[in-house]
Amino acid sequence: MMILPGAMLGLLGGGQLGRMFTMAAQTLGYRVTVLDPADDSPAGRIAERHLQADYLDYQALGDLSNSCAAITTEFENVPAAALRYLAQQRIVSPNANSVSIAQDRIQEKQFLSANGFAVAPFAVIQSGDDLASPIYQSLCPGILKVSQLGYDGKGQVRITHINDLSPAFEKLRQVPCVLEQFLPLACEISVILARGFDGKTVHFPVIENQHQQGILDVSLVPARISDSIQQQACRIATELATKLDYQGVLCVEFFLLQNGQLLINEIAPRPHNSGHFSIDACITSQFEQQVRTLCQLPLGSTAMKTPAAVMINLLGDLWHNGEPDWNNVLEQPAAKLHLYGKSEARPGRKMGHITVLGDTLEQALDNALTIRATLSER
């Protein structure tokens, strides 16, 4: 049943993704209650109500359930048990099963492989006793990733030689891990889709992503890949969403190998950093689509309003000499500045982003890199 504007929506998580969801919801006339453990969060600052509580505080979850018409989450590391509890009384999107798969790399890789989705060769390490297995030799060079709570390059160690594996596992505190083989990449891309409760699905244009030290640095739209690869990526993402019986906004990140093969890297059951361009470049942003799917409204158009767009992340490193001079962005007519309202800038912390629009991808990329260079000169 459609949830009309004016209703209160619940949100688990108060970070920048939650902030942008809240802004989209309020634009459509909804109110938002944020549940987040922090006393000061980007989303909590602007929401109508902030419940400061742990995600497994069942009194707070009961309050959220009683006061909200539907509930969503801004990131996948919210306990799936909280979503299952809330789903007993309220519409919850995404579902707990999808979140539990996405928040555990072991479950994620095993689910994808079992359902016929191509992934990089991998092996699971549950304990130090597993390291004696000869299977890991064939996966070197590779990258060792913690199974849970790893993001933006955190909880990862590169493995050049099999002798690096044991020290790397020690460095990651011997928690369950996945070892993935390095493969010759052409590029990394992502597909962001919105899927309604009726199964209708729309895709945003395929995005090409560049990373620095494991953190997304630049996203380019449209991706510089063939039409056939774009269509294949969208088809795979749709099949995955259907297999998960997914409702909401889903990001599927891919490796495109030099031989043209597509492999799923990971999934994010939420709006994604690579989709921030959609706020300024598309008729409907990924955050508005999150509101629409949650409230069972018709899905919006994902068509671009401009031929090309480039998104560049602004990390806390830019603040090393104080607040950057935002005039360098604001004086550019094709650039849009988004700051997340975080109180403390730290190296590697996502503080905001810039989206630059252009008639060509080359023009937008050149302008975006020039703007960032001027911000770094201080």
**Structural domain of 153:** 121-181
Classify residue 116: in a domain, yes or no.
no
Into how many domains does the chain fold?
Answer: 3
Residues 173 and 205 in one domain: no
Q: Of 187, 242, 245, give the one whose Cα is nearest residue 219.
A: 187
Classify residue 25: in a domain, yes or no.
yes
Q: Of 113, 159, 169, 156, give the one whose Cα is nearest residue 139.
A: 159
Residues 194 and 281 in one domain: yes
CA distances, 242 to each of 167, 245, 281 (Å): 40, 5, 27
Classify residue 107: in a domain, yes or no.
no
Cα–Cα distance, 122 to 139 (Å, whole number) = 7
List residues bridging with 298 in a β-sheet.
Answer: none
First to last CA, the chain: 53
Binned at pLDDT 50, 70 and 90, residue 378 comes out as: low
Q: Note the pLDDT tens digit of each residue in 17-49.
A: 999 999 999 999 999 999 999 999 999 999 999
Look at residue 153 in the predicted model and tell me its pLDDT.
65
Binned at pLDDT 50, 70 and 90, residue 154 comes out as: confident
CB 179 within 8 A of CB 136: yes
Residues 242 and 365 in one domain: yes
Look at residue 175 in the predicted model and tell me its pLDDT.
93
Q: Note the pLDDT tens digit of each residue in 117-151.
A: 999 999 999 988 888 788 888 899 999 999 987 76
Classify residue 339: in a domain, yes or no.
yes
Look at residue 14 in the predicted model and tell me its pLDDT.
96
**Token pair 């992502």: residue:** 190
Which of 132, 149, 181 marks a domain boundary? 181
Residues 290 and 365 in one domain: yes
Residues 141 and 191 in one domain: no
Residues 285 and 308 in one domain: yes
Please tell me the pTM assigned to this model: 0.95
Residues 290 and 351 in one domain: yes
